[in-house]
Amino acid sequence: MSDDLVNRAFDPEGPDRLWVMDVTEHRTGTGKVYLAVVVDAWSRMVVGWSIADHMRAELVADAVQMAVWRRRPPKDQTMAHSDHGGAYTSWLFGTRLRNAGLLGSMGTVGDCFDNSVAEAFFSSLQRELLDQHQWHTREDLALAMFDWIETWYNPRRRHSYNSGYSPADYERLNTPVAHAA
């Protein structure tokens, strides 16, 4: 179990300082689909995600692993904030955080405001994708989730938090370019 290192301060000063994570589920004609995400609170970019037909620890561990591969965060500088769900309190998830040098953080039990950035992401997903169709198969929904995150949400969906820029544009405009020596 981790302490709450965030205390609802969801405005980090730069990228890869605070990642928030959560899981949602949605029913299809062939069963439920689970989506775990890792969102960089600085830009609201989904930096890691995993989709499965189960809610085991591998689901959230795989989302974190994708985020680590994509971002390569500096050791002991990135807070990884979640709720107290069983997957987030698992040995596998804790080991994945420690091996990546991430600082585990958990909000209080049963308080949606302690993970409001992730909850806001899922609210957008619900309104803009999930409620728009009846999903006949898990495969259809999984493909739609992938497409929504990678071709709409990250590169093009505007956010008031980002002064009207998409997460990708916000990062591109606000991340200093490293010059080769």
pLDDT in tens, 142-154: 999 999 999 999 9
Structure tokens at 46: 């989904």
CATH numeric code, 18-166:
3.30.420.10
Strand partners, 51: 35
Residue 132 CA neighbour count, 13 Å, CB half:
11
CA 146 – CA 48 distance, rounded (Å): 11
CA 87 – CA 98 distance, rounded (Å): 15
- For the chain, what is the total number of helices (H) and then of strands (E)? 5, 5
Residue with tokens 């807070």: 79
Kindly report the pTM of this predicted structure.
0.90
CA 130 – CA 115 distance, rounded (Å): 21
Q: What is the model's pLDDT at position 102? A: 93
Residue with tokens 């992938």: 146
User: Where along the chain do its domains lie?
Assistant: 18-166
Q: Per-residue confidence of the chain (181 residues) as pLDDT tens digits? A: 567 555 565 677 889 999 999 999 999 999 999 999 999 999 999 999 999 999 999 999 999 999 999 999 999 999 888 876 778 789 998 899 999 999 776 666 655 556 778 889 999 999 999 999 999 999 999 999 999 999 999 999 999 999 999 999 999 999 877 555 5
